[in-house]
A and B are shown apart, each in its own frame.
Chain A
């Protein structure tokens, strides 16, 4: 059934509003990652930053002694560059262990303090210092 021109004209404001409302909601949804994920990313970023900082500690310990240490916080006589309190962040805690997945490389773990993120593992090279981050659960990055 074809609508008359008068009816179409009468409901044109509704149609225009409908389209604009939908577009506004779409734009709003597109902005969600910039707002909510920035909070979510802040948590992940803290974990990655902490783990990156302790990668530096492990490399310094290695550079000064020429051997791999299995802990981040060392005994006093081993001139530690990290203290226990520094392992705890607001959203993540770094585990006091340095794995050795292969000769010349290490691994460090950061465990989340909430139930929305997964543990982060960083593999790194003692020589070059390059690191690779891996989430031990699904990555929640947008």
Chain B
């Protein structure tokens, strides 16, 4: 046996160190890949989360434009939804009119207790579900019907 040949212990140590080095390198590569993969979601999330003032303002704008469209409808038929032609029960809006960055309006006009009701659904758990209750005499109020689920991480 060659005296310079590594012992079995040395070979084992080299094997184990190789094992760790290989795993560490692959771990780094995979981690970098996974981080890049999740970036679009995180970017979207950061753009829509915790911006309560913008969300409230957006919901207000969606409610205002949708309620105006409902009240301006001159169809004799009952208005049952926001989108679609007036002769088919719609208020004449298109889908893009009821979709915002933080909120989406449910495509319906609820008639409840003598008032008309619109519902704004948040696109994530950071904001509350809102209802806009209004009449054709100009009375209107915005009510939180489902509080925000998420307040902080």
Contacts and interface: CB of A to CB of B under 8 A. Distances in A.
A63 interface: no
Given A96-B145, A115-B49, A137-B48, A25 B81 contact: no
A14 B14 contact: yes
Interface residues of A, number: 46
Interface in B1-58: 4-6, 11-12, 14-27, 30, 40-41, 44-45, 48-49
Contacts of B107: 99-101, 107
A19 B15 CA distance: 10
Nearest to A19: B22
Chain B: interface residue count, which band?
35 or more
B15 A113 contact: no
A69 to B, nearest CB: 10
26 contacts: A11-B14, A13-B12, A14-B14, A14-B18, A18-B19, A20-B19, A21-B19, A21-B22, A23-B22, A24-B19, A24-B22, A95-B119, A95-B129, A96-B145, A97-B121, A98-B106, A100-B81, A101-B107, A109-B106, A109-B121, A111-B121, A115-B45, A119-B123, A136-B123, A137-B48, A138-B40
Interface of B: 4-6, 11-12, 14-27, 30, 40-41, 44-45, 48-49, 80-81, 83-84, 88-89, 104, 106-108, 110-112, 117, 119, 121-126, 129, 145-146, 149-150, 153
Interface of A: 6, 10-11, 13-26, 29, 68, 70-71, 93, 95-103, 107, 109, 111-115, 117-119, 121, 136-138, 140
Given A17-B15, A18-B19, A19-B22, 6 more contacts: A17-B19, A21-B18, A25-B26, A68-B80, A112-B149, A113-B150
